Structure formats: structure tokens, C-alpha cells
Amino acid sequence: MELKTHYDVVIIGAGAAGLMCALTAGERRRSVLLLDHAPQIGKKILISGGGRCNFTNRSVSAAHYLSNNPHFCKSALSRFTPDDFIAMVEKQDIAYHEKTLGQLFCNGSARDILNMLLRGCEAAGVQIRNTCTIKNIQHQGETTNRFILQSNLGEISSDTLVIATGGRSFPKIGASDFGYRVAQQFDLKLQPNRPGLVPLYLNAPEMKAIQGLSGISAEVIVKCRGKQFRDALLFTHKGLSGPAILQISNNWHPGDEISINLLPDINLVETIHNWQKNRAKTTLKNLLAMHLSKRLAQQWLEQTFKNKAVDQYSAKEVQAIAAHFHQWRLIPSGTAGYRVAEVTLGGVDTDMLSSKTFEVKTVPGLYFIGEVLDVTGWLGGYNFQWAWSSGYCAGELV
Ligand SMILES: Cc1cc2nc3c(=O)[nH]c(=O)nc-3n(C[C@H](O)[C@H](O)[C@H](O)COP(=O)(O)OP(=O)(O)OC[C@H]3O[C@@H](n4cnc5c(N)ncnc54)[C@H](O)[C@@H]3O)c2cc1C
């Protein structure tokens, strides 16, 4: 379809939030143009959840999000809920399953979700253009309240403009700081960005301590800044990863200490004392290997004391060993960065927008939705739910 020169709604960023907003506005018979600079639409959806897209979570509340204003997300999450998105998925007969902790994934492929959104846009008459470079945005506020975009597709104007360009994470598939620059153009406050849901790197002494453990995982409890997560930790060549680490990375700031309990199911002091009391003959390494991988158990133990029969450890030694396993304290040297971070923390300050409409309070007709905002979810489908909820709520009003 030929491009028009004027639309009711132009949305920049055809990711999860932009697609959802476009189809919702299109269904209301608004003329909608959805623009993206990437050569392929929806690439992030396609690679999400290991290719199966963890598209939502059965249990979603404001407590699963980080933001300078923790209340901002409540309204949208309650007006477009996980059940609403699940209903869309079921209507399209997309098979899905719950993996763990309420996380819903496609049985087949993430493409099912992308196709559902693209079909929805097509049915709603939304025009989509990829490989589109926006060179300039002008706002004619005083006269007509129009937005005028200069792009490689020519000049396009709209009554409302929605910025859905996401955060800085995964630049190789199209992430950019575009949304933040637009916010600055309109004098909106930004909360500082940090990579989130990202592996953590370690300093040399800690790297030495985990040498040879790369590829081994363990169920742990990890704590930082009063927050804790219980999930799998994965040792890597450069530090720590796995869901537990990705989760805590959202709370971690440079210089913060994190504490890791490698044996969350037992009290090691009590366990060793019980074995000693019962005069059971086993080595500590074998006892530990009942709860951890053998290699990890041995390497971690030998960082404190040599492996011996359990009854040969003094009470003081038992305390030291238990502390080493239950409270591994470390200060990560940094994160793996935006290159691999699943999300970007911070962004457009939510005080600048209405939590009901997502319209900028000082610029009528300008909207920001999705990850570009200072709202970041936990791992587990929460970030897509935020994209769906904010996209839908704005789409209902633009
Ligand atoms: C590897 C990976 C796996 C993930 N898995 C999950 C998961 O399973 N579940 C979950 O809930 N979350 C997951 N996430 C997070 C989730 O993908 C994002 O939070 C969500 O996609 C944000 O939606 P959005 O529409 O706001 O931004 P995005 O999806 O990032 O979309 C932004 C769009 O804007 C476009 N854009 C950027 N700059 C410009 C510009 N200058 N001009 C035009 N267009 C531009 C981009 O090309 C992109 O298409 C994952 C993220 C990654 C990186």
C-alpha cells in the first residue's frame, strides 16, 4: 500500500510495544503507520525466550517491576492483564506451556507470537515500514498540534506520535538511544540507564576461585540490596550467569556486594554435626556432592580446608566451611553490558507521563510506551507483559 503523507498515528519502533499499540489503534479505525529502522520487524521477539518467547507470566504485579516510581505501571497492568494476552494467544490457537514460576512459553516458536501481531496489524489496516531512518521530528504545537517527521521515506505528518523504540540492549538487532534523544528534544527527564538481566563479570581473585567450573550450574539464593532470588546460577568463562544472576543484576549497581548461598536447601553446620553425631563414615566432599555437582563441591571445599572424613573437622572449621558455601560474598567487576543484556534499566522518567494514557503531560499527542520508559521487569515474561500492557493502553487512546 502506498504511503500517505498524513496519519492519525505514527509509531516509531515496531517491537513488542509498537506492534501492540499499532494493532489496538488500527482496530479503532485510526490510520496508523508503524516505522522501524531495522531491516527485519520483530527480531527481538523471535530470539526471545531461547526462540520460544516467554510472552507473559501468570502472576504479574507492580512488585515485579523496577522503576523510580513503582506505582506507575499499576494502571496499565490492571487494564491489559496476562489473561488478556493469553486470550489473544488462545484465539489464534497458539500452543503454549508453563515452564516454571508462571512463565508462559510457546510450544512451537516465538514466530507464532510475531505472526499473531503482524496478522493483527494487517487486519487492522496498519501500514508497516522497515529500514526507515527518522532524521528529524518537529512538533507544530501552537497551530495544529501536528508532528512532522523527516525520513528516508519522505516527509510524514501525524496527529499523534508514539515512541516505542525500546532501550539500548542488543544493539546488533536494532536497539538505539533514539527514544531517549526524542525525550531530550522535548525536555523530558531521564532516569540513568544500566544494562539489566545481564551476566556479571568478576575480578581476578574470584575468577581464579571459579576456574574450571565454567558450564556448571547450581540452584542458589543470591542477594543484593535487600532483594533475593532463588534460581539457577551458571559459572561461565567470564563470571556468573543463569537466571538467578540475571535477576539480581537488575538490583546490582557498580561497587555493590552480592551474597550467594550455594546450598540453599540445607544448613551445612547442622548437616555436618548430624553426620558427626551418628559417626557416619563419609568424607565431606561426598556429603557435599549430595547437594552440589562433584566438581563444584570439591573445588569450593578445598578453598577452605582439605577433604577429610566428616568427623575430623573441628567446630571452628565447620563454621568456616559453612560460611564459605552459604555466604559467598563478592563484588562483581561489572556486567556483560548492553551487547547481551536482555533489558535496559532507567529511561524516560514516568513522572513526565500520564500512567493511564502514556501521553507526555507537557506535549499533547506525544506518547512513550514499552521499555524506553523507566519501567523494567524481572526475568520471566514480565518485560513483554509491560510492552503489551503499555502498548494496548496507549493504543486505546491515540
Ligand atoms: C535476547 C533477549 C531475550 C528476551 N527474552 C524475553 C522473554 O522471553 N520474555 C520477556 O518478557 N522479555 C524478554 N526480553 C525483553 C523484551 O524483549 C523487551 O523488554 C521488549 O521487547 C521491549 O519491547 P519494546 O517494544 O519496548 O522494545 P523493543 O522490542 O526493543 O522494540 C524497539 C524497536 O524499536 C526499533 N528502533 C530502535 N531505534 C530506532 C530508530 N532510531 N528508528 C526506528 N526504529 C528504531 C528497534 O529496531 C525495535 O524494533 C528479551 C530481550 C532480549 C534482548
Give the model confidence (pLDDT) of 49-106 as tens digits.
999 999 999 999 999 999 999 999 999 999 999 999 999 999 999 999 999 999 999 9
- Measured in Å, residue 245 CA sits from the centre of ligand 1 at 21
Instruction: Count the domains in the chain.
Output: 2
Same domain flag for 328 and 372: no
Does the residue 256 lie in any domain?
A: yes
Same domain flag for 58 and 186: yes
Does the residue 306 lie in any domain?
A: yes
Q: Which of 294, 319, 335 is the last residue of a domain?
A: 335
- Measured in Å, residue 373 CA sits from the centre of ligand 1 at 12
- Measured in Å, residue 384 CA sits from the centre of ligand 1 at 9
Same domain flag for 185 and 236: no
Q: Is the pLDDT of residue 279 over 80?
A: no
Same domain flag for 294 and 347: no
Does the residue 153 lie in any domain?
A: yes
Same domain flag for 275 and 173: no
The string of pLDDT tens digits covering residues 169-204 is: 999 999 999 999 999 999 999 999 999 999 999 999
Q: Is the pLDDT of residue 288 over 90?
A: yes
Does the residue 93 lie in any domain?
A: yes
Same domain flag for 81 and 213: no
With a 6 A CB cut-off, is 52 part of the ligand 1 pocket?
no
Given ligand 1 and candidates 44, 129, 130, 180, which is best to mutate, with the most ligand atoms within 8 Å of its CB? 44
In sequence order, the β-bridge partners of residue 334 are 201
Q: Is the pLDDT of residue 280 over 80?
A: no
Same domain flag for 258 and 292: yes
In sequence order, the β-bridge partners of residue 138 are 148
Burial of 5 (0-12, 13-18, 19+ CB in 10 A): exposed
Residue 48: predicted pLDDT: 98
C-alpha closest to that of 342 among 25, 47, 29: 47
Residue 106: predicted pLDDT: 98
Same domain flag for 293 and 161: no
pTM for the model: 0.97
Does the residue 1 lie in any domain?
A: no
- Measured in Å, residue 230 CA sits from the centre of ligand 1 at 26
Same domain flag for 38 and 136: yes
Does the residue 65 lie in any domain?
A: yes
Same domain flag for 18 and 125: yes
Q: Which of 335, 359, 374 is the last residue of a domain?
A: 335
Whole-angstrom distance, CA of residue 132 vs CA of residue 36:
6
Same domain flag for 175 and 83: yes
C-alpha closest to that of 179 among 126, 130, 128, 137: 137
Residue 277: predicted pLDDT: 86
Same domain flag for 204 and 188: no
- Which residue range is the domain that position 275 belongs to? 200-335
Q: How many CB atoms lie within 10 A of CB 257?
A: 12
